[in-house]
Amino acid sequence: MPNRVVVLLSGSGTLLQALIDAQRSGALAAEIVGVVSDRMDAAGLERADAAGIPSTVVVFRPGGDRAAWDAELTRAVADYAPDLVVSAGFMRLLGAVFLAEYAGRAINSHPALLPAFPGIHAVREALAAGVSVTGATVFLIDQGVDTGKIIAQQAVRVATDDTVESLHERIKVVERRMLVEVVNEFCG
């Protein structure tokens, strides 16, 4: 039986779609058994629905209890009994309960060559710094902001006429391919 994967997302779900496409083509050594989002309006939920993948939403309310939310998120993910959790554009830090449950079994993708440019504005910060090369990183999730053990990285050249959007799109192409490769390494 293939390894069970749960995908966490907050937005458009393009990384999820790369995993779905790889699963459909037989190129993914795993089965995506669930999607969990922190946003009711995440477009990635529509991608999951279109692929017949069940989903759950665990919204964090501003001013809410982070520890309680983390425990609820952990329970929602556990309901799918995953072997691997893939954070694919999930824009929240995972808490102690989640990390205790999924230590060594939760990975994240980031649009920079970590440890450079951690956080949510990595592409904008890379352009502002004037670097000629940036890229994408897949890493094990830990308690820090993009500080976990690096599993894979790939460089992307910065063009002189790049905008945040154009550079991010080129990084996403690399990120999608690399994420499928790393999931296969974990699950193969």
Q: Please tell me which residue in 110, 168, 170, 176 is annotated as part of the active site.
A: 110
110 catalytic, yes or no? yes
d(CA 144, CA 153): 18
Q: What is the CB neighbour count within 10 angstroms for residue 128? A: 11
Pair 149, 138: CB distance under 8 Å: no
Specify the amino acid at residue 74. Answer: T
Q: What is the CB neighbour count within 10 angstroms for residue 165? A: 8
Dihedral pair phi/psi, residue 72, rounded to 5° = -65, -40
Active site residues: 110
